[in-house]
Amino acid sequence: MGIGAGPDDWRIAMRLGMAMLLALGIFALDVLSPLQGAVAVLYVVVILLVAREQRRSLVVFFAVLCATMAMAGYLVSHGLDAIGSPTMRLGVSLVAIAITAALSARQITAAEARHHSDERYRLIFDASGFPIWESDWSPAYKLLRAGETPTLELVQRAGSAAIIRNANQEVARLFGYADRSELVGANIIEHHTISAEAAQARIFERLLRGDVPIEEEMQFRTTSGELIDVVLRVTLPQDHNGWSRVLVTALDVTQRNRDQARLAESQAELTHMSRVTTLGQLAASIAHEVNQPLSAIITYAKSGQRWLKREAQDAPETADCLDHIVINGKRAADVIARIRDLARNGDPRREAVRMAPLIEETAELLQRDMIASGVRINVALATDMPSVLGDHVQLQQVLLNLMMNAQQAMASTPTPDRELRIDGGVRDGVLVVEVSDCGAGFGDTEPEDFFRPFFTTKRDGMGMGLSICRSIIEQHGGKLTASGNEKGGASFTFRLPITEDEGRIAA
């Protein structure tokens, strides 16, 4: 024994010492007693005592030692006498020692094999790259065997009584724990969702029928509150002893399901885009057909203006209507011209556009609709708003879309609170225009989602307006963003680079 021997070494030494003393005692009793060799069979006790150390070499050593001591005791007591009953008893003792030693060695070999098997199982259990745990579901087994049906209420009761016997680190990572020790001896009932409990009830029902292994997809809630989609595979070992040992493996399919949902959404968007493309081709054809009658409308309106100036100068309301017909007719003609340019894949027009007059003109175009809807327009523009390089019609379409969206967003707002505000000016060397409303805002939806193609909160909307507006602004070198405002509504802000000449003047 070394100086640094541990408690186990001392325990082994004491046990072997006791075995040696016992062997010597049996030897002395065999030599000194009148039982004539019958005591030698007690050497079996020494073998059994040594076998507790689970070492084959010690069993063999003590078996040889005990056999030697049994024969030595016989020779001391009987010498070379003729073979008789003492010799027969010696033979029985030697056979008993040999059989006990052989069975002990065999038991030690089997125990070592089980130990190695358990070590391999534990290595696989701990090193596997997916969650795996062993649970005790015996409470559920007892309830179901007592005649209860696998309902959600039974799942909750059985889940509260079940415990996790062992789990690897991946299980802790799956549910959001720092270490697997937090799960051992506990249960996962707090991570159950309604879908998990329904799936668990189906698992209990199939286990009763003997349908193993079982796979079920369910949803759990992690410690952080995140929902995860998991496929569970449940198996029963042969020695499960009434579901007291249930092996559960898990596969996290959360990302897979999200990817599938995005793929389905993309396929739906592609289908919708195909319909929109067809509609765009039809619109180009319609634009071509409508262009001539629209030109005729403008011509007739101008003729009416000339007639009024000559024959009925005291009809201002009629003149105003004709003026609006001409203005809106020209705007419609410009829009149709842009549609035809797009159909021909023509280059967008670029010219210096003064934003202040454009904003005021757009607000005037929508003034009647806004008054009819009970919406007040409040325009606050800087006096020195510069020009931007861009397409007049496209920029006006952006303003129209944002203002009409603001009008529709305030449909449920009390009439006295319906205000549409347009602010414009220069910040950090770029032109900034902000369109704000007093509607319901974005709610639980991320503002960025409103710019996704085909995303809409309107019952009859297509979900293309804001997406197209952002594309137009980005084609002009700018940026369109959305945010909530202090009145609870939504604000849409676009930034555009000013023209070089205006930039030099501003500098």
pLDDT of residue 442: 80
**What CA–CA distances, in Å, run from 52 to 8, 61, 105, 338, 466?**
13, 14, 11, 96, 81
Q: Going by CATH, does the domain composed of 132-252 fall within 2.60.40.10?
A: no
pLDDT of residue 317: 78
**Strands 419-427 and 376-381, sheet pairing:** parallel
Query: pTM for the full model?
Result: 0.44
pLDDT of residue 436: 92
pLDDT of residue 82: 59
CB of 477 within 8 A of CB of 484?
no
pLDDT of residue 3: 47
Start-to-end Cα distance in the chain: 93
Question: What average pLDDT values come out for the chain (507 residues) when binned by 10 residues?
Answer: 58 82 83 67 85 84 87 77 72 86 86 72 68 89 86 86 87 89 88 90 89 89 92 87 89 89 75 61 66 77 79 75 79 67 57 89 83 89 87 86 88 88 90 90 80 65 71 88 87 86 47
CB of 105 within 8 A of CB of 59?
yes
pLDDT of residue 507: 41
472, 474, 479, 483 alpha-carbon torsion, rounded to 10°:
50
CB of 137 within 8 A of CB of 145?
no
CB of 461 within 8 A of CB of 453?
no
Superfamily of domain 349-506: Histidine kinase-like ATPase, C-terminal domain (3.30.565.10)
pLDDT of residue 422: 92
Q: Is the dihedral angle over the CA atoms 121, 233, 186, 163 positive or is it negative?
A: negative
* Sequence ranges of the domains in the chain: 7-127, 132-252, 258-326, 349-506
